[in-house]
Amino acid sequence: LIDWMEARGAYLLPGDHALRLDLVCKVNGLEAAEEYFLSLPDMHKSVKTYSSLLNCYAEHKPEKGLELYEKMRTMNIVPNTLVYKNLMSLYLKAGQPEKVLKTFEEMRGNGIQTDNFTYCILTESHIMVNGLESTKKFLEDLEKSIPVHWSLYTVLANNYNKVGQFDKAELALKKAEEVMDKGEMFAWHNLLSLYASSGNLSEVKRLWVSLRSELKICSNRSYLVMLSSLKKLDDFDSMQQVFQEWEFTQQSFDMRIPNVMIRAYLAKDMTDEAEALRQAAMAQGRSDPVTFYIFAESYLEKSRTDAALQVWRDAEKIVNTPNWVPRPELVKRFLKHFEEAKDVDGMESFCACLEKLECLDADARDALSRTYVAAGRTNPSYHSPDGRRPG
Over the stretch 339-371, which tens digit does the pLDDT of each residue have? 999 999 999 999 999 999 999 999 999 999 999
Residues with Cβ within 8 Å of residue 276, at least 6 apart in sequence: none
Structure confidence at residue 13 (pLDDT): 65
Report yes or no: 77 and 50 within 8 Å, Cβ to Cβ.
yes
Distance CA 20, CA 82 (A): 16
Stretches where the chain sits below pLDDT 70 are 1-14, 378-391
Question: Could you tell me the pTM of the whole model?
Answer: 0.85
Sign, CA dihedral 91-96-98-102, equals: negative
Structure confidence at residue 261 (pLDDT): 98
- Where do runs of H (alpha helix) occur along 180-314? 185-197, 201-215, 220-232, 236-249, 256-267, 271-283, 289-301, 305-313
Structure confidence at residue 1 (pLDDT): 53
Structure confidence at residue 269 (pLDDT): 96
Distance CA 382, CA 380 (A): 6
Radius of gyration of the chain (CA): 26
Topology of the domain comprising 131-234:
1.25.40
Structure confidence at residue 290 (pLDDT): 97
Query: Angle, nearest 10°, between helix axes 220-232 and 236-249?
Result: 170
Burial zone of 10 (CB within 10 Å; 0-12 exposed, 13-18 middle, 19+ buried): exposed
Structure confidence at residue 196 (pLDDT): 98
Distance CA 265, CA 262 (A): 5
The domains of the chain are located at 131-234, 253-315, 325-391
Structure confidence at residue 14 (pLDDT): 62
> For residue 164, which phi and psi values (nearest 5 degrees)?
75, 15
User: Residue 270 half-sphere exposure, CB side, CA atoms within 13 Å?
Assistant: 14
Q: Cα separations (Å) of 14 from 2, 31, 43, 297?
A: 12, 20, 9, 46
